[in-house]
Amino acid sequence: MKKLITSALFAFILISAQGAGLDEQVKTKAADMARRMANQIELNESEYIQVKTYLTEKLASEVMIRDMYSNDVEMMFRKLTEADNACNQKIESLLNTKQLENYLAIQKSLKAELPVIATSGE
């Protein structure tokens, strides 16, 4: 039930954000990310449009999550991870075998480049 309510709230917020017009910076960043991805994993036009849509939704939700959970870093990190995983699943379901292999290799190299964030259990 909790997941259903969360999903409904998330969908409502996304629809509201789209209706109100997403920030141009989010749209530009999503288009740039999708364009680079299209070149790296050889997306066709239809796939590019879908990936751009998924990335726009992800970036818009990231902005919302950072706003909503600015006082709770743990929850913010958890929600950002959920949004990232959801977007990755959508993209992965769209790709063919060769594209998926390239996408996973790119994801792996990006994660290797990220700095490790240390947290204390105190």
Give residue limits of the domains in the chain: 21-106
Per-residue pLDDT of the chain (122 residues; tens, 9 = 90+): 666 566 666 666 766 655 455 588 989 998 999 999 999 999 999 999 999 999 999 999 999 999 999 999 999 999 999 999 999 999 999 999 999 999 888 888 877 665 555 454 44
Q: What is the pLDDT of residues 76-104, one digit of tens each?
A: 999 999 999 999 999 999 999 999 999 88
Other Cβ atoms less than 10 A from the Cβ of 56: the count is 23
Rg over alpha carbons for the chain, rounded to the nearest Å, is: 16
Burial of 79-106, coded b for 16+ CB within 10 Å and e otherwise, reads bbeebeeebeebbeebbeeebeeebeee
pLDDT for res 115: 57
Contacts of residues 39-42 at CB distance under 8 Å and 24 or more positions apart, as own/partner, are 40/102, 40/106, 41/95, 41/99, 41/102, 41/103, 41/106, 42/98, 42/99, 42/102
Give 50: exposed, middle or buried? Use CB within 10 Å, 0-12, 13-18, 19+. Answer: middle
